[in-house]
Amino acid sequence: MPVEMGLWRAEGDKLNRIVPTAIGLESELEGYIESDPSMLGEVLLVIGRQVPTAFGGFIDLLALDETAAVHVIELKRDKTPRDVTAQALDYGSWVAGLGRADVHAIFEAYKPGVALEEAFAECFNETLPEEVNSSQTLTIVAAKVDAATERIVRFLNEGFAVPINVIFFRHFEDNGAKYLARTWLVEHEGQQAGTSVPGHQTKTREPWNGSDWYVSFGEDSGGRQWADGLRYGFISGGGGKWFSQTLKNLPIGARVFVHIPKTGYVGVGTVIGEAQRFDQTMVDVGGVATLLHTLPLEGTYRHEGDVADEKAEWAVPIAWTHAVSRAEAIWRNGMFANQNTAAKLRQKFTIEQVTEAFGLDN
């Protein structure tokens, strides 16, 4: 049975029903959602409005959620005809074929001069994930829904887990004030996006150039200090297998972008030796190979139980191309950050921002 919403004004012991009115132009509701997409039940970043598709249609609104899944938002005024569901599915099939670069291009057309990474970070306080548009969610916005559309949407959503739903808005006016009421056709707990197709990852994830790596230089009080890494040319991590094992993935010749958590990027350099226990690592000091742990250091690089390799601090010697002090760290909203000590750096935005700030040839 089609969903219906009612609103009553309570006056003493009497209830007076407020009669819903048409919102007016479809674009008015579209504008409301564009200005505050949270009215759809979750935080969303709008990335496009009236987005042209390859087959001549126009998607009313496109948005990203915090996982970088794409939301197709299609608005239809008054009763929703059966073909609206087919249209939403059609748009969803087109969106599913978009790669990361396509999503960037759509946002660039919508917000010229604004980086998607920065907008995403401002909206969600998170770095844009490596995979963008790995899944999609379809939302039909309507004032009413006919019985056929309700059956179709429920069948797809509940029977086959297709991430499609209908959200209803009713417009009320009372004593000069305007109100919007909202409800969902299928119970909404933050739409579950569809599962991504493994072969689709090559398009939705930024390609890796094969040489650039992200390194987290996590300073801790007294234990590990960036001033030492800057002075003697090394990066390090340890205190547990999880913290040191990724350092061992760094190949000689790799370019590393070093980031101090909650501070910014402080160095770009080239790996010139394999990862070793800190107490066995050699660095070049004035042309002389010297054991790192014998040098004057600000950090202790010791951990409880570090006799065992898994608990020890591990270091990798680096030839700095450009490195700065902690106080001169570079950070822009939307830059890549990761809890791993070392990870492949795919994000073009971070590479461009750091190399430009450091005056390097990208």
Q: Is residue 12 part of a domain?
A: yes
Regarding whether 238 and 191 lie in a shared domain, the answer is: no
Q: What is the pLDDT of residues 224-244, one digit of tens each?
A: 999 999 999 999 999 998 889
Those residues whose C-beta lies under 8 Å from the C-beta of residue 122, and which sit 6 or more positions away, are: 333, 334
Residues 46 and 177 in one domain: yes
**End residue of a domain, out of 163, 183, 204:** 204
Q: Are residues 37 and 165 in the same domain?
A: yes
The tokens for 185 are: 């056709």
pLDDT score for 26: 55
Which residues, listed in sequence order, are joined to residue 182 by a DSSP beta bridge? Answer: 169
Helix (DSSP H) and strand (DSSP E) numbers for the chain: 10, 18
342 contacts: CB under 8 Å, gap ≥ 6: 213, 214, 215, 216, 237, 246, 247, 249, 250, 256
Residue 1 lies in a domain: no
Residue with the bigger pLDDT between 229 and 174: it is: 229
Last residue within a domain, chosen from 204, 224, 244: 204
With a pLDDT cut of 90, the percent of the chain lying above it is: 61
Task: Give me the pLDDT at residue 279, please.
Answer: 96
Q: Write out pLDDT tens, residues 188-213.
A: 655 555 544 444 555 777 888 889 99
Q: Three-class SS of residue 126?
A: coil
Closest-CA residue to 117 (of 355, 347, 356): 347
Cα gap 145→153, rounded to integer Å: 10
User: For residue 78, is pLDDT > 70?
Assistant: no
Asked whether residue 169 falls in the same domain as residue 283, the answer is no
Residue range of the domain that includes 160: 7-204
Give the Cα-Cα-Cα angle 217, 223, 229 (nearest 5 degrees): 45
**230 and 199 co-located in one domain:** no
In a domain, 362, yes or no: no
The domain boundary, picked from 204, 228, 258, lies at: 204
Q: What is the spatial distance between Cα 315 and Cα 12, in angstroms, rounded to a whole number?
A: 75
Q: pTM for the complete prediction? A: 0.72
Domain harbouring 350, CATH code: 3.10.590
Query: Taking a C-beta distance cutoff of 8 angstroms, is the pair 178, 112 a contact?
Result: no
Pair 303, 312: CB distance under 8 Å: yes
> How far is it, in rounded angstroms, from Cα 198 to Cα 193?
15
Q: Is the pLDDT of residue 54 over 60?
A: yes
